[in-house]
């Protein structure tokens, strides 16, 4: 699997996209789109000690905004990224959100050696399968799996839990 080659910079970028890329996409079913968000309003945070990174999300009833920082930093920086691709929502309830974002150019996420490696492997587009579940009022579990577009060839997977926090300090 490719995941051993991903740089810390890319992991920070990828993780900071997770709710933003899925729940906040605009379409005609606005009321349905907001179910997961409106049931999980607040600040959520996770720490990846092995990478030295914190990722946080600020969820309101209508949108989610993602932030990231190095553990050693004092404040979070916003991630204002909207990926291209075709979003297919499989399940959307107040406690569960699953989707696939298809045909995302690898150039939107990767660069340098990471991008060169993927292209040399014939991977120009990826599909991102995402799943989020709220566990009571204190946790959101998440998993994202990145596949070579149109296949089950796994490029990367990221999973964990976000814990609810009172506040995040923004830069």
pLDDT tens, position by position, 13-55 = 555 455 544 444 444 444 444 688 888 999 999 998 887 888 8
Domain boundaries defined on the chain: 2-165
Contacts of 2 (CB under 8 A, 6+ apart): 117, 118, 121, 154, 155, 156
146 or 1: which leads in pLDDT: 146
Question: For residues 95 and 139, what is the distance between their CA atoms, to the nearest angstrom?
Answer: 11
| For residue 107, pLDDT beyond 80 | yes
134 or 23: which leads in pLDDT: 134
Extract the tokens encoding 43. 């600040």
The answer to pTM > 0.85 is: no
> Can you name the residues that pair with 98 across neighbouring β-strands?
91, 131
């Amino acid at each position: 699997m490719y995941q051993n080659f991903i740089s810390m910079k890319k992991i920070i970028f990828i993780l900071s996209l997770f709710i933003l890329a899925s729940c906040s996409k605009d379409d005609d079913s606005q009321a349905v789109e907001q179910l997961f968000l409106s049931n999980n309003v607040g600040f959520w945070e996770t720490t990846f000690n092995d990478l030295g990174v914190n990722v946080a999300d600020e969820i309101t009833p209508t949108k989610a905004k993602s932030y990231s920082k190095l553990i050693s930093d004092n404040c979070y920086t916003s991630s204002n990224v909207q990926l291209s691709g075709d979003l297919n929502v499989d399940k959307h309830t107040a406690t569960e959100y699953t989707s696939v974002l298809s045909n995302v150019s690898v150039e939107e996420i990767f660069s340098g050696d990471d991008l060169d490696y993927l292209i040399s492997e014939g991977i120009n587009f990826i599909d991102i399968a995402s799943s989020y579940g709220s566990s009571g009022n204190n946790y959101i579990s998440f998993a994202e799996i990145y596949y070579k577009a149109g296949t089950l060839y796994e490029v990367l997977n990221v999973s964990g839990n976000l814990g609810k926090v009172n506040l995040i300090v923004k830069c």
